[in-house]
A and B are shown apart, each in its own frame.
Chain A
Amino acid sequence: MKQNPLDYIIPESEVVRNITRCVNCRICEKQCPNEVHKFNEKLNCMTADESLCVNCQRCVATCPAHALKIQKNECAFRENHNWKSDNIKEIYKQARTGGVLLSSMGNPNKFPVYFDRILINASQVTNPSVDPLREPMETRVFLGKKPGEIRRDPDGNIIPELPVHLELSMPVMFSAMSYGSISYNAHKSLAAAAKELGIFYNTGEGGLHEDFYCYADNTVVQVASGRFGVHEKYLDSAAAIEIKMGQGAKPGIGGHLPGTKIIGDVSATRMIPEGSDAISPAPHHDIYSIEDLRQLVYSLKEATQYKKPIIVKVAAVHNIAAIAAGIARSGADIIAIDGFRGGTGAAPTRIRDNVGIPIELALAAVDTRLREEGTRNNVSLIVGGSIRSAADVVKAIALGADACYIATAALIALGCHLCRTCGSGKCSWGIATADLVKRLDPEEGARRLVNLMRAWKHEIKEMMGGMGINSIEALCGNRLMLRGVNLTEKELEILGIYHAGE
């Protein structure tokens, strides 16, 4: 078929093969799910079609001769500051198809990353730092309502009336990723790692595979507008239930797993027929107010006999402080806020790249508002989107979070190379795929996640120790430990921190 030259999109990447190293072993061909590499019998050499390449680096990493490089294609549109390559490419795609652009992973654009403009304090001379290698250091956190008062029995012993809560060995949890958007082995890795670490993973809204019921004590199950796979065993197989109102990558819109991914176990787990689209509408059609949210919160509490904390997850949007103030009065035990950098298997590009606000500002605004209203102890705060390192965790906690959600960071630990094509179902690393799932060994995956968290935990301790803080709860909302650089007065005001030097 003759190709219309207008349909040719200049590939982003170039496959560079060092033919002095290539031994024609064809491993790249087997490893590439996008069929970039082909062996040419006539020429007796490997060839590449880079228009199919997504730059997942799988061939580079598996080439035994180290003969491959994927690099930025120098052949490009004639860009200018206003019309960038992406703007042009997107118009070609839409002019050809009339379709809404769909992208994977978080907002990649040049908005400020506030975490990178915040610096952490340390003790010098006037107050001692704590050495985490020698001294006890507490990183455990408890998520849920904090009791308003301590009551004692006639003998003076404290009556332990702790409201339902989650206990985490460190203030990090794996954020919601549904089975279907990520693979069985990816879920298994997350679940096993959460168990070993004493933290939690989150099923996302696609139901829970029955093989993972055994991880119930470390599982957060999600109830979203589509209510996929929500039934008695699902709710019972969880330590907490998360009501998904929004997601940072796509605030204000719903989810949509295409029918092509609803196959086999994914269909069984979501409890919908194979091939049928899994549509989560934008709103919960029974929630138009905080009172309605309260109704869903309490119907879930009733169904689980008040034994499990309820998390309400919302995207960080303009009036997040007022929204969180409402949620803190809804009976929810925990609020999870997802920033505009948060990841996704697929979201409309325009929404992902243009809707929502940075998590750092949202978090500071919410923590401030809840403190002002005296409701901060009604709820715990979890933030995500995007937490990239132990330093981000420490900064988030000092800004007012009780714990952080990580998802993209966890996937990278599992082998994700951020090629940003999760929606295609052809993940070459076995993460966002049903076909190549075997490429991800769940035991190794769990081990890598445990390693990552162990490393972060130690880094968190070192940063805490440096500040002279030996308990993570003493860092929560401790904004004096932070200073800003390269920030405006307004930004500093919202973040509630001083500029460096002040």
Chain B
Amino acid sequence: MIINSQGLDPREINELIRTAKEKSIVLNNCLGQRFIGSGLGKKEISINGIPGNALGAYLNGASITVNGNAQDAVGDTMDSGEIVIHGSAGDAAGYSMRGGEIYIKNNAGYRAGVHMKEYKQKKPVIVIGGRAGSFLGEYQAGGIIIVLGLNSDGRPIVSNFPCTGMHGGKMILRGELPSIHFPHQTTSHTADENDFAQFAPFIKKYCNYFGADYEKLINDKYTVITPDSKNPYKQMYVSN
């Protein structure tokens, strides 16, 4: 089914998507409408144009492909499903996501993966092809954030203060990055075989989606950052 989003507000678009009999839906002329696919179950949406904030919030199994850029809070509190963005994403992508996967071809703004968490077999994944803004993985409590740094603008793979408050999960940055300052409650090491086994499938998927060179990428070195403690602030308090 094809929906022409021109002149439609988010509520109308979501209503059309939810009530559509077809599983697969193409959304044309999207121009900043927010909340597309909020809480959506098993459907496939392809978006032509630029969706607004909170794309795929609380996503519940749907697959969303954006043929363009996405705005802020992509996949906020996403539970399952997949979001593929053939462009860049704004701030707070994957805020508090607990499952599913987000692939961003180019860059992500501030606070990507803030407060991502995992529980048992549910592990969310974000792959950012370009660079990430400041506060990447802030309060990260689970899941995997991968940044490939394929941007060609000469700017660093991640801006200031990555992993602040991190207390779970893993962050993987391409390259050996001695100049990046990680907070004291985290440890970084160069990726070993076990790490590769864990994250290579997601890089492979990235390459399939966006046509990057998997063989070249997989032969690079990667830095893995993990937290030292699940209880970073335990020592801070005294009961009164």
- Let me know if B34 is at the binding interface, CB within 8 A: yes
Interface string of A269-306 (1 = CB under 8 A from B): 00111011101010001100000000110111011111
Instruction: Provide the bound-state CA to CA distance between A298 and B234, in Å.
Output: 36
Instruction: Provide the bound-state CA to CA distance between A232 and B18, in Å.
Output: 15
Are A299's CB and B239's CB within 8 A? no
Partner of A302, one of B38, B231, B239: B38
- Let me know if B162 is at the binding interface, CB within 8 A: no
Are A231's CB and B236's CB within 8 A? no
> Which residues of B sit under 8 angstroms from A273, Cβ to Cβ?
118-120, 142, 168, 230
Are A281's CB and B168's CB within 8 A? no
Are A303's CB and B57's CB within 8 A? yes
Instruction: Provide the bound-state CA to CA distance between A42 and B239, in Å.
Output: 34
Are B234's CB and A258's CB within 8 A? yes
| Known A102-B239, A256-B233, A299-B54: A272·B39 in contact at CB below 8 Å | no
**Whole-angstrom distance from the CB of A222 to the nearest CB of chain B?**
13
Q: How many contacts A-B (CB < 8 Å)?
A: 140
Tell me the B62-109 residues at the A interface (CB within 8 Å).
72-73, 76-77, 79, 91-92, 95-96, 98
Are A423's CB and B239's CB within 8 A? yes
Are A295's CB and B73's CB within 8 A? yes
Partner of B114, one of A94, A271, A285: A285
Partner of B167, one of A232, A279, A296: A279
Are A231's CB and B79's CB within 8 A? yes
Are B168's CB and A271's CB within 8 A? no
Partner of A276, one of B141, B238, B240: B141
- Let me know if B49 is at the binding interface, CB within 8 A: no
Query: Which residue of the partner chain B has the closest CB to A227?
Result: B96
- Let me know if B115 is at the binding interface, CB within 8 A: yes
Instruction: Provide the bound-state CA to CA distance between A231 and B97, in Å.
Output: 10
> Which residues of A sit under 8 angstroms from B131, Cβ to Cβ?
none
Interface string of A109-153 (1 = CB under 8 A from B): 000000000000000000000000000000000000000000000
Are A302's CB and B114's CB within 8 A? no
Instruction: Provide the bound-state CA to CA distance between A258 and B170, in Å.
Output: 21
Query: Which residue of the partner chain A has the closest CB to B165?
Result: A279
Which of B60, B72, B117 has its CB near the most chain A CB atoms (within 10 A)? B117
- Let me know if B206 is at the binding interface, CB within 8 A: no
Instruction: Provide the bound-state CA to CA distance between A304 and B39, in Å.
Output: 8
Interface string of A248-283 (1 = CB under 8 A from B): 000000001011000000011001110111010100
- Let me know if A397 is at the binding interface, CB within 8 A: no
- Let me know if B198 is at the binding interface, CB within 8 A: no
Query: Which residue of the partner chain A has the closest CB to B230?
Result: A276
Are B167's CB and A302's CB within 8 A? no
**Whole-angstrom distance from the CB of B131 to the nearest CB of chain A?**
19
> Which residues of B sit under 8 angstroms from A226, Cβ to Cβ?
96, 115
Are A303's CB and B38's CB within 8 A? yes
Instruction: Provide the bound-state CA to CA distance between A96 and B239, in Å.
Output: 12
> Which residues of B sit under 8 angstroms from A101, Cβ to Cβ?
237-240
| Chain A interface size range | 35 or more
| Known A271-B119, A279-B165: A232·B240 in contact at CB below 8 Å | no
Tell me the A295-353 residues at the B interface (CB within 8 Å).
295-296, 298-300, 302-306, 348-349
Are A94's CB and B39's CB within 8 A? no
- Let me know if B235 is at the binding interface, CB within 8 A: yes
Q: Is the interface of A mostly helix, strand, loop or mixed?
A: mixed
- Let me know if B32 is at the binding interface, CB within 8 A: no
Are A286's CB and B95's CB within 8 A? yes
- Let me know if B222 is at the binding interface, CB within 8 A: no
> Which residues of A sit under 8 angstroms from B239, Cβ to Cβ?
101-102, 421, 423-424
Are B60's CB and A232's CB within 8 A? yes
Are A232's CB and B141's CB within 8 A? no
Query: Which residue of the partner chain A has the closest CB to B13?
Result: A302
Interface string of A430-443 (1 = CB under 8 A from B): 00000000000000
| Known A256-B233, A286-B92, A304-B39: A272·B142 in contact at CB below 8 Å | yes
Query: Which residue of the partner chain B has the closest CB to A231?
Result: B79
Instruction: Provide the bound-state CA to CA distance between A482 and B62, in Å.
Output: 55
Instruction: Provide the bound-state CA to CA distance between A100 and B231, in Å.
Output: 15
| Known A273-B119, A303-B57: A279·B96 in contact at CB below 8 Å | no
- Let me know if A387 is at the binding interface, CB within 8 A: no
- Let me know if B111 is at the binding interface, CB within 8 A: yes
> Which residues of A sit under 8 angstroms from B117, Cβ to Cβ?
228, 271-272
> Which residues of B sit under 8 angstroms from A424, Cβ to Cβ?
239
Are A298's CB and B141's CB within 8 A? no
Instruction: Provide the bound-state CA to CA distance between A423 and B91, in Å.
Output: 35
Are A258's CB and B35's CB within 8 A? no
Instruction: Provide the bound-state CA to CA distance between A273 and B227, in Å.
Output: 14
Instruction: Provide the bound-state CA to CA distance between A279 and B54, in Å.
Output: 22
Instruction: Provide the bound-state CA to CA distance between A27 and B66, in Å.
Output: 67
Which of A97, A298, A299 has its CB near the most chain B CB atoms (within 10 A)? A299
Are B238's CB and A285's CB within 8 A? no
Are B76's CB and A100's CB within 8 A? no
> Which residues of B sit under 8 angstroms from A267, Cβ to Cβ?
119
Are A276's CB and B73's CB within 8 A? no
Instruction: Provide the bound-state CA to CA distance between A232 and B35, in Å.
Output: 15
Query: Which residue of the partner chain A has the closest CB to B92?
Result: A286
Query: Which residue of the partner chain A has the closest CB to B235?
Result: A99
**Whole-angstrom distance from the CB of A304 to the nearest CB of chain B?**
7
**Whole-angstrom distance from the CB of A100 to the nearest CB of chain B?**
5
Are A298's CB and B167's CB within 8 A? no
Q: Which A-B residue pairs are the 6 nearest by beta carbons?
A: A303-B39, A99-B238, A302-B38, A227-B96, A101-B240, A271-B119
Q: What would 9 A/B residue contacts be, using CB atoms closer than 8 Å?
A: A230-B77, A271-B117, A273-B142, A277-B167, A277-B231, A281-B115, A299-B73, A349-B240, A423-B239
A100-B236, A285-B115, A298-B10 given; name 11 further pairs at CB < 8 Å. A96-B238, A102-B239, A232-B60, A271-B122, A279-B139, A286-B91, A296-B54, A302-B10, A302-B35, A303-B57, A304-B39
